[in-house]
Each structure stands twice: as structure tokens, then as C-alpha cells.
Amino acid sequence: MALKGDYKSESQDLAARADSAHLHTLIHGQDTRNLAQSLEQVSHHTGALKRMISPLSLMEPVGAGQDHQNAEQLNKSKVGSFAGALASALINHMLMFGMCCSYGMIIFSEERNAAHRALGVKMCLAASFIGGGLMSVISGIPVAIGGTDLNPAVFYGDWVITISDELTKSLVLGDYASYSSSSGRLLKKNDPTKYFCKGDHLLANPQECESYHAQLRATTIFAVAFSTLLLAIIWSVLGKLKLTRYVSYMPYSISEAFLACVGYKVFFYAIKFCDFDPRQFFTAAFIGIALYFCKALHIGNPTIMMPLGLLLPLAIFWGIAVATDQTPASVRDAGWLFPEVKNEPFYLVWLDSLGSVANINFSAWVATLPNLAVMLVVSTMDCVLKLHATESKLPLKVSTDDEALKFGIFNYLLACFGSATGYMQLKFNVISYGVMRNAHDRRAGMIYALFCGAAYFSTVEHFNYLPKLFLSALLFFAGAGFVTDNMWGSRKFLHFSEWLEIVVILIVFIAAGQLIWAVVAGLVLSGLAFIAKYARVPSMDGKPKRGDQVTTRERPVGEVGHQSFMHIASAWILIVNLKGYVFFSSCVAVMRSVETYFQKEDENKVPAYRRLKFLIFDGSALDGHQVAHHPLSQMVQTRKPNGLAGHYSVNYISLRRGWDVHFARLLPSTRTTHSSWHPGREGQFVDSPRAPGLKRYGFPARQNLRFSKEERRL
């Protein structure tokens, strides 16, 4: 009866535990359950304080009650307030519009191309409008904010400079330095191309200048659209074939170095936009870097801090201008505003490219191909790394392959619009999530895309009222992440030698001025680092073994014959156990080990009949070697003793992968003939003394062996 009662109480206890409500109370206790409810009620942001303070959400087991499941389901389908989505969209649009204006300035950074800056702004806004809109609908990251990035914009700027130089040579317009403007004065720090196709230079070359601008626009649009198309193909293939994980195989120090180079270039443009005036770029650096650290360190409420950081400097600037009775024209003449930019209709992208194919200068475009290859690598790497980093920044699970496929699909459409490359902007995603406190609301991205579309289809002339230091501050804000995270921040988790690789690549980029040389330096450094690192990894599993040190399980010639063979094997056979991958550097240690054995024989003056005859490389743990005839075979076939008369060579046997080093399997029985003996050897036996004992154990009796192609490959 006692046993039956115990069984009944145990079954009741199991039934109580199976009930989700009882399970929740048993684990947490009623007091902690009441505490969780109180925290839920007093928290300003529902659930936020509970996640930060109370560990109950982490303690609760999977499926621990219907209340828990309902809460999880509610969180997944939770839709924040429309005001939060609108605030997020406005903040991100202000940031992105300012960034697009900065990108347009970067693309056409030289004074000779200043008339086309509105085109650069529109090309970047198209990526924000089309890419951001499609991403807000189909992306697996609901709060995703799409648009172009600093990486492509920097490369576009280099392309435009290259195309401009090629066009200047082909149209014989290189004599602009000898002309002066019909008005104004030449300042010390002005762009040397400021008077290109202006003033007297324009009067002297009217047709050439007109052709220059037409060809520049058409060639630039074609170059940008073509790069967008190539990236669309690459990303869609990577996503479809599930290959994005291989992008992360690039050495981390090299990828960080490339992004640090982009950060340096962005800082250079930020200072250049301020005409190298310390009053402007120091103020811009303070605003931009302070805004970055407010975002990165989560200082304050982003709903307040981000608009404050953007609008307050503008309000102070124009407040001072109004207080000193200055007009926009006088402020522009004083050098605080960029030259006035006129709006360009969006359809000019097609009219000036597809509508005038004859103006596309393919010779000038070919000169940009080396930078195009680097741009494809860096942009792909940046896109995939941002997808990988999303899970650490947002409470979401992201499929990198699916997202890369989606990015590739909508970049096909961007290429048709002659637009810059577009993909997810992680820093904007974090801002959107911080403002809404919700990672599942798509409305912010949709409203943001509508704002960008309104600017794309209407006008961008409010760009004329943005001071230079404001756009420079935005570049400092965007570039600070490259410097703090990719360069300075990487020293915390990289070895000092790996961090030095970043510094060396950055120095090469600064000295050369082109990223292509930084890429070459990165490839050389990564190759040297690979050789230096894996040359220290031993390819031998333990010390070489003599023939009598291997335990055998069978005695094919009887005990007496076996003892005789083991006596001979102790002198004639040496077994080297290989592991991992043997390549041109790691095999040096193997050769040195065998050479040491030969040197000991020479020093001890071992008689010829007791010297090593068979060198066996056990490849049971070997992953592979560099080439079919690697240096190990050459070493053992050409070895000759020093100080001894006569000549002999060492026989070389390499076991097939997966074979055990047991003589019972390595050496077949006496009934085995040479034609059926296949230990997976490669090499050649030459001039070797023979012994009947070895022949009975299966070693071939003739001197020269010919192997099939398959045996040689193995």
C-alpha cells in the first residue's frame, strides 16, 4: 500500500508539473511572479525594464506556460505606435538626405565637375527610394533601412576623377591652368580645376567643354549602373547557392584594413569639404564624432538625441547669420556654403545615358576597371558583414543567404534606374530600432522610402542651404565607425601582429592614394602571414618510429621468422606519421627530421648493411599535400651519404589515406604476389639491397617499379 501511495503522489506531482501555470509558479515562486507583474506595470517602455533588470525572462524554460507563449507571440506581432514609426522615418530621412548630398559631393568632388552634383545626389536618392522601399516590404529584417553606402560612393568619386582625366586628355583640355576666371580671385587652397571650362578657358574651347560635360555624365551613369548590375549578379548568386558564408573566410585583419582605408578617405573628404579651414572642420568633427558616440554608446533617447544633433547645429548657424544681417548669398560668398546647385529632373538619368549612347566614352571607362574589381570585393564584403552583425545589434534572426538574394534582386531594378548600389544600412537600422523600441514594425522603412521618393521626384535645391560644416559633420559621423571599430577597436581582439597588418595597409593607402595598392599590400601580407603561421604547425604526429617500434597483430611467417624480420626492420625501416596538410613550407620540418636521422648514421659510421633502406610516410591522418610530387619524395630519392664509399638510395613509400600503420595490414601475407600488392605507394625503388625476409613480407623484388596514374596521384 505504501508503494501504491508513493506512486500516486508521484503521478500527481508529475501532472501538476505538466500544467504550465503550476510549472511557472514552481520554478519562479509566487513572489517573483508578482514582482515580474509589478515591473511590467511600472515600466515606461513595456517590457524594456523587465528585460534589463529582471532575469525572469531568461530563467523561464521553453514552453513554460501559455502566458509565456502568448507573450512571445504578441512580441512577434507587436506593432508600435504610428508616431514612433513617423519619428524614426523622419530621423533616418534627414540623415540619409544629408548623406546623399555628401555622396553627391564625393562623386563629383572636383570643381570642374561641380555642375553635376545634383545628378550624384539623385542617383543616391534613387537607391534610398527604390532599395529602401523594397527592403521595407520583402526583407527578413522588418526595421531595415536601405540605401547606398560610403564604400560605393568613395569608389564612384575615384572613377569620376579617372574619367575626367581621360576625357581631358582626349579633348585636349589640359591647358586650363594657364587661364584665369573672368571674375573672382584665385585663393591659395582652391581646387586647381576650379577654372576648368570657365571664363577664358570656356571661351577658348566652347565645343570641347560641351562635349566634355556630355561625355562625363553619360560615362559616369554607365559606370555606376554597370557596377550595380555586377553586384546584383554577385549577390543573387551568393544568396541562391548559399555561399555567403565563404565571404567571411577572408582574413579578418585584411577586411578591417580595407574598411579602415575607406574611413580615412571619408575623413579626408570631410576636411576637404571645409576647404581645409580649421574653424569649420574642427567644429564639424566635434559635432559628427559626438553624434556617433551618442548612437554607439546609447547615450540618451535616440528620438531626442538624433534630431537634436542634426537640427541644433543648423539652427545655431542660421541664427548667427540672421543676427549678423547676412543673406544666403553673402554667407556663400564668405565660403560657408557650397556653390549653388540647380535641381535636375530624375528622367535625365535615362536621357543622358541611354538617350545619348554615343557620348559614353568606353576608353575612359576601361581605365576604371582595376578600381571596379576592388569595389566589387569591398562592397560585397561590407554587405555580408553588416548582415552578420545584425543579430548582435537587433533581437532578430537573420538568414544571410536569403537577404543577399533579395538585395541582388532589387539591385537589378536599381541598375535600370542608373542608380548607385543599395543595400541595408546597419547604423540606420539601429537608430530605427532605438526610436521605435520595436524590431518588427515595417512602417518606418516604408515612410522613410516615401520621403526619399518625394525628394527624388521633386527637388534637391534645399541642399543649397546646408552649410559645409554640416555635410562635413555627417561624413565625420559616418566615418567614425570605420576608424573606431575597424581600425582602433580591432586591436582589442586581434593579435598585435595582425593589427600591424591593418596599420601597414592603411599607410600604403595613404602614401599611394589608391585603394588598389592597399589591396595588393593586403594580399602580400596575408600570404606572408599564412606562410609564417602554418610553417610553425608541425606536419608530423610525434617522432619518427623505427620498424620494431610498431606493434603487429599477425605473424605471417611464424614467430621465429617474425623476430628475424623485426630485427631487420629496426635498422632498415623508418616510419614518419604525417597529419594535416603538407605544403611547401610545413614539409621543411619533416625533411629536417629525416635529415637528422641520416646525419646520426653518418656520425656513428653505421655500416651500409644496417643503414636505412625504407622510409615510410604514414598518411592515415593526412588531409593532403601541395603537389603530386612534393619535396618529400625528392628528398628521399636523392639522399646520398657523406664520407662513405659507394652509393645507395632510400626507398620511399607513402601510405594511402585511411590505412593503419600495422604490419599485419601494411605487409600482406607470403601468398600475396607483387601484382596484387597495393599499399598506396608513390615514388621509386632504385639500387636497394634485397633480403628474403622483406620479400616474404610483400616488398617487391625488382628494382624499378612503374605505377599507374591513379597510384601516382594517390
Q: Between β-strands 146-147 and 423-424, what pairing exists: parallel, antiparallel or unpaired?
A: antiparallel
> Considering the domain boundaries, does residue 194 fall inside one?
no
Say yes or no: 528 and 577 in one domain.
no
Question: Can you give the pLDDT at residue 624?
Answer: 67
R_g over Cα of the chain: 36
> Considering the domain boundaries, does residue 707 fall inside one?
no
- d(Cα 107, Cα 114) in Å, to the nearest integer? 10
Query: Which of 620, 639, 658 is at the close of a domain?
Result: 639
Strand, helix or coil for residue 467:
strand
Which residues does the chain have with pLDDT short of 50? 1-4, 6-8, 14, 17-28, 39, 42-77, 181-188, 627-631, 633-714
Question: Can you give the pLDDT at residue 446?
Answer: 94
Question: Can you give the pLDDT at residue 656?
Answer: 34
Say yes or no: 447 and 584 in one domain.
no
Q: How many CB atoms lie within 10 A of CB 130?
A: 24
Question: Can you give the pLDDT at residue 413?
Answer: 94
The three three-digit cell numbers of residue 104, written as one number: 553627391
Question: Can you give the pLDDT at residue 532?
Answer: 75
> Considering the domain boundaries, does residue 150 fall inside one?
yes
Side-chain-facing half-sphere of 425: CA atoms under 13 Å: 28
- CA distances (Å), origin 613, targets 335, 540, 689, 691: 86, 20, 8, 11
Question: Can you give the pLDDT at residue 416?
Answer: 92
Say yes or no: 397 and 482 in one domain.
yes
Say yes or no: 568 and 526 in one domain.
no
DSSP bridge pairs for 465: none
> Considering the domain boundaries, does residue 277 fall inside one?
yes
Question: Can you give the pLDDT at residue 51?
Answer: 36
Which tens digits make up the pLDDT trace of 355-409? 888 999 999 999 999 889 989 988 998 899 889 888 888 888 889 999 999 999 9
Bin 629: left if φ > 0, else alpha if -120 < ψ < 50, else beta: beta
Say yes or no: 575 and 430 in one domain.
no
Say yes or no: 486 and 575 in one domain.
no
* Closest by Cα among 362, 387, 396, 438 to 167: 362
- d(Cα 119, Cα 344) in Å, to the nearest integer? 7
Q: Which class for 673: exposed (0-12), middle (13-18), buried (19 or more C-beta within 10 A)?
A: exposed
Question: Can you give the pLDDT at residue 246?
Answer: 85
> Considering the domain boundaries, does residue 672 fall inside one?
no
Report the largest interatomic distance among the alpha carbons of the chain, rounded to a whole angstrom. 116
> Considering the domain boundaries, does residue 648 fall inside one?
no
Question: Can you give the pLDDT at residue 554?
Answer: 67
- d(Cα 114, Cα 197) in Å, to the nearest integer? 11
**Residues whose CB is less than 8 angstroms from the CB of residue 119 and which lie 6 or more positions away in sequence, other chains included:** 104, 108, 217, 220, 221, 344, 348, 349, 352
Which tens digits make up the pLDDT trace of 85-137? 999 999 999 999 999 999 999 999 888 898 899 999 999 999 999 999 999 99
Question: Can you give the pLDDT at residue 392?
Answer: 83
* Closest by Cα among 471, 529, 528, 504 to 260: 504
Question: Can you give the pLDDT at residue 195?
Answer: 80
Burial profile 398-422: b = 16 or more Cβ within 10 angstroms, e = fewer: bebbbbbbbbbebbebbbebbbbbb
* Closest by Cα among 184, 92, 705 to 449: 92
Burial profile 300-335: b = 16 or more Cβ within 10 angstroms, e = fewer: eebbebbbebbeebeeebeeebeeeebeeeebbeee
Say yes or no: 281 and 358 in one domain.
yes
Q: How many CB atoms lie within 10 A of CB 158?
A: 21
The three three-digit cell numbers of residue 499, written as one number: 593589427
3-state secondary structure 161-183: HHHHHHHHHHCCCCCHHHCCCCC
Q: What are phi and psi of 613, to 5 degrees?
A: -115, -30
Say yes or no: 619 and 488 in one domain.
no
Q: What are phi and psi of 670, to 5 degrees?
A: -70, -20
Say yes or no: 525 and 627 in one domain.
no
> Considering the domain boundaries, does residue 293 fall inside one?
yes
Query: Which of 472, 498, 533 is at the close of a domain?
Result: 533
Q: How many CB atoms lie within 10 A of CB 664?
A: 14
- Show the domain range for 460: 95-173+203-533
With cell 505606435, the residue in question is: 81
> Considering the domain boundaries, does residue 689 fall inside one?
no
Question: Can you give the pLDDT at residue 50?
Answer: 36
Domain count, the chain: 2
**Centroid of chain to Cα 555:** 58
Say yes or no: 576 and 525 in one domain.
no
Say yes or no: 433 and 566 in one domain.
no
Structural contact between residues 659 and 679, judged by C-beta atoms closer than 8 angstroms: yes
- d(Cα 118, Cα 521) in Å, to the nearest integer? 36
Using the Cα atoms of residue 227, residue 230, residue 234 and residue 237 in order, give the sign of their dihedral. Answer: positive
Question: Can you give the pLDDT at residue 609?
Answer: 81
Side-chain-facing half-sphere of 39: CA atoms under 13 Å: 17
Say yes or no: 377 and 251 in one domain.
yes
